[in-house]
A and B are shown apart, each in its own frame.
Chain A
Amino acid sequence: MAAILEQAEVATELRPAIAGRNPWLLAGRRLWHNRIAMAALVLFLLIVVVSLLAPLYASHIAHTNPFVNDLNGTTIVHGKRVPLMQQGGGLLKLGETPIGPTWDVHHYFLGADALGRDVAARLLYGGRSSLLIGIGSAVICCLFATVTALIAGFFGGVTDSLLSRLMDVIWAFPVLLFAITVGTELQTLPHGLAVGPVHIVATSLWLPTLIIAFIYVPYVYRPVRGQVLTVVHREYVEASISQGASNLRLLFSDILPNVITVVIVLLPLIIATTILT
């Protein structure tokens, strides 16, 4: 029996060590093998690339300025020059109808809108704004909500009560109504929004980005705070405390890594929500 055990020990020592796998690599491999996820990722990247190329399309392919009205303009369809806005027909000739899709990338591919502007070019530019505002506001929202949730969950007591009640107040407003109210008020400021050294003009995309980020903070705050409350009582946190770790170290070295998974899951959901908003 002892001989068998000794042989097993030798065999174990002689066997080469199995290297641990990096969790990010593992995740990447799983993603690679998931065909549906890969298809969605490719589509998403395609949309991003095409949106980023909007200026190229507008100036070099379509030769239009999608930001300037062109109600009296014309374009070429099947070799003929036609007006972009066409008066209604029949007996009454009511209305002015913009030209529909021409399926010609050089001449109003998706037609014109009610102001004679190229719909295809505007679609691409719109994608840029949507991605910018959507992703930007989601990131800001998650950042702010995570920091707030960490503070509330870690310190507890009055701090937690105050922050949580503030979030409840924000959450109590219907989201869109709140956003419209705040947006209207800020938009009518004659010199934009000025807070200390920061100055945002009324027409800046930062305004809708910040407003949308603000209204969705409670949606991220609550689940993250809940996770913080769970993690803060774990043994490794207590161990760190007993070793004299500072609050800052506890928050960012022990607690944050264990709640970040919640934020990672929420981030794409919030991006989708903010784009829709």
Chain B
Amino acid sequence: MSRAVRSPLRGRKLYTWSTAVAIAALVGAAGCGGSSGSSSSSSSSSATGAQKGGTYTILANSAFGVADPAQNYTLQEWQLLIDTHDGLVQFNRVGGTAGTKIVPDLATSLPQPTNGGKTYVFHIRKGIKFSNGQVMKPSDFVTTFERQFTVPGPTSFYSGIIGADKCSTKGCDLSQGVVADDSAYTLTINLTAADPEFLDKLALPFAYVVPASTSKKLTGNNVPPGTGPYMWQSYNPNSQAVLVRNPYFKQWSAAAQPTGYPDKIIEKYGQTISDEVTAVENNQADEVFDGDVIPSDRLNELNSAKYSSRVHVNPLTADWYFALNTRTPPFNNLKARQAINYAADRNAYVKIGGGPSLAVPTCQILPPNFPGYKPYCPYTAGSDTTKWTGVDLTKAKQLVQQSGTAGMKVVVNSASDDTSKALAQQMVADLNKIGYKASTQLLTGSIQYPFIQNSNNSSKWNVAWSAWYQDYPAPSDFLNVLTGCGSIHPHSDASPNIAAFCDKSIQAQMDKAETLGQTNPTEANNIWAQVDHAMTDQAPWVDMFNPKQIDFLSSRVHGYQWNPQWYILIDQQWLK
């Protein structure tokens, strides 16, 4: 998942970028809904005292763009789509590490792939209706998958389906790849090659079923009917989105799609984040959208005894980093890249990110508690290479001299909001300390991300800020998507390998790990760990920190749970 930026088609975005969200208690360590110690009472997933009813109000600084689920790639809409729509499978709708488990949703069970891992046969539940009263049938899924190609948007998740290679916005025929039998109520998906992550991809909202009659073109701000406990009553990006109960919903799986507690969910747009905080403090709303970064001058209030019990801090499987442009000098030189990694003051970056409660310094790509993660940081003072402890300017300057790039001009590109600008300024300071002549290039957030991805602009910057949040818990979602050779798309605004780094031997290891993942996940994760370390050694990035997320709620919200995939489970909270 991409970073929190306003650009639409860039992976999952939080629509705020300085996500200084922290969580003190690691989900894994807590083994439960996960929350800071200040809010243990509301972090439990127990439904004691739970009651249905009320209107749950979320305040977000801005809307999430176009609402068509085939295109929208933002966490903001996904947190609502999981309540209104369903797919064949789903992430377990509970907090904690259990929330990363895939469970059957509209499928009656998880199929074992056959035909060398290329064929999945799903048995579809009967008697489920869309919010418009239509009965859901297997053939509805054919339209759903075809729309993924006819509507402009991310297509890579399902490009392995037979027939997908011939699909485009002009038309798509997946009759060989997605075979529906409405009489037997089965759905067969045929892939061109085995994909151990395919069930994860099916759990993403792109694959949530819509009626077969849904237009194959972008539906704009009209969300097609779904099968979830809620339905979209309205969505106006200039004011609010309203979800109400789906009258046709009957719970079939508490793990995949439990009945929600609030009767209505409203997400309002347009206030400043500071005003959102004030409103939630005063219980005039229930949640500051967790993708909106709470300004640092408001964080101190949240530390107070009056509000701290309503604050939940959780670790994110995410990276904040600077990509190094490997196309042009000086960072087409390995020693130069390693030099800035030794010089980068990660302590300062953490302070800009909100302090040690909200950010943890890192040198590597995979985040903690992620499959394949083994701590590794060679770019530190001292001999312990499992964690970063300080800069090593002597080593950094030596490497700069050895690279022959001393004195070169370096342009540091970043977004123009306060936090990103501060990070860029710190990077400039770090570069200048080791002998470069650095300067900042600040662009507004919605422009900056596509700008740095497009190779047409590669001569204009040398270092670029970015961030990445998981799409699903798989190492390839970080390593292959962000540093794989296949993720470089010249002249495109969607080329997530921003550094344009390609190492064929590391790529071969990634391909091996992906293939092995289906039959031997443990060995695959070992290979992913080696890939992560090898990539860190090649230093296409300066990785700064893994952020944490803050959820700030009103005093009437109970039943808070943190799911590693969807973050706050909105409809599983009740109001009292």
Contact = CB atoms under 8 A, between A and B. Distances in A.
B286 to A, nearest CB: 20
A97 B305 contact: no
A115 B38 contact: no
A72 B347 contact: yes
Interface residues on A, range: 20 to 34
A81 interface: no
B358 interface: yes
A188 interface: yes
Nearest to A90: B303
A71 B348 contact: yes
A96 B351 contact: yes
B299 A184 contact: no
Contact of B439 (A72, A94, A188, A203): A203
A190 interface: yes
A41 B286 CA distance: 53
B444 interface: yes
Contacts of B308: 90-92
A203 to B, nearest CB: 5
B429 A202 contact: no
B563 interface: no
A89 B447 CA distance: 37
Interface string A123-135: 0000000000000
B311 to A, nearest CB: 6
Contacts of B550: 94
B457 interface: yes
Contacts of B422: 114-115
The DSSP consensus for interface residues of chain A is loop
B343 to A, nearest CB: 13
A96 B460 CA distance: 33
Contacts of A180: 444
Most chain B CB within 10 A, of A71, A87, A97, is at A71
A247 B339 CA distance: 65
Contact of A94 (B345, B355, B442, B457): B355
Interface in A53-102: 68-69, 71-72, 85, 87-97
Given A71-B348, A72-B347, A94 B22 contact: yes
A187 interface: yes
A161 B275 CA distance: 49
Contacts of A96: 296, 351-352, 354-355
A94 B357 contact: yes
A96 B304 CA distance: 15
A72 B348 contact: yes
B316 to A, nearest CB: 15
Contacts of A114: 296, 352, 418, 422
Given A184-B447, A188-B441, A203-B439, A93 B303 contact: yes
Contacts of B348: 69, 71-72
Given A92-B38, A94-B303, A188 B429 contact: no
Given A184-B444, A187-B441, A88 B426 contact: no
A188 B457 contact: yes
Most chain B CB within 10 A, of A96, A190, A203, is at A96
Contact of A71 (B24, B313, B345): B345
B279 interface: no
Given A72-B347, A202-B441, A87 B300 contact: no
Contacts of B444: 180, 184
Interface residues on B, range: 35 or more
A95 B300 contact: yes
Nearest to B354: A95
B352 A92 contact: no
Contacts of A190: 411, 459-460
Contacts of B356: 87, 93
Interface in A104-126: 114-115
A89 B22 CA distance: 15
A89 B351 contact: no
Contact of A92 (B311, B345, B443, B460): B311
B37 interface: yes
Nearest to B428: A69
Contacts of B441: 187-188, 202
B302 interface: yes
Nearest to B429: A69
Most chain B CB within 10 A, of A85, A95, A188, is at A95
Contacts of B303: 88-95
A94 B198 CA distance: 38
Contacts of A72: 345, 347-348, 351
Given A69-B425, A97-B300, A114-B418, A92 B24 contact: yes
A92 B39 CA distance: 10
A92 B348 CA distance: 20
Interface in B30-61: 36-38
Contacts of A203: 439
A37 to B, nearest CB: 39
B34 to A, nearest CB: 15
A180 B447 CA distance: 13
Contacts of A69: 348, 425-426, 429
Nearest to B433: A68
B534 to A, nearest CB: 31
A97 B37 CA distance: 22
Contacts of B354: 94-96
Given A88-B300, A94-B313, A95-B357, 5 more contacts: A87-B357, A88-B355, A92-B311, A93-B355, A95-B358
Sorted from nearest, which 10 A-B pairs have the closest CB atoms?
A90-B303, A95-B299, A71-B348, A96-B355, A94-B299, A91-B308, A96-B351, A71-B351, A91-B38, A88-B303
12 contacts: A69-B425, A71-B348, A88-B355, A89-B303, A90-B305, A91-B37, A94-B354, A95-B303, A95-B358, A96-B352, A114-B352, A188-B441
Interface of A: 68-69, 71-72, 85, 87-97, 114-115, 180, 184, 187-190, 202-203
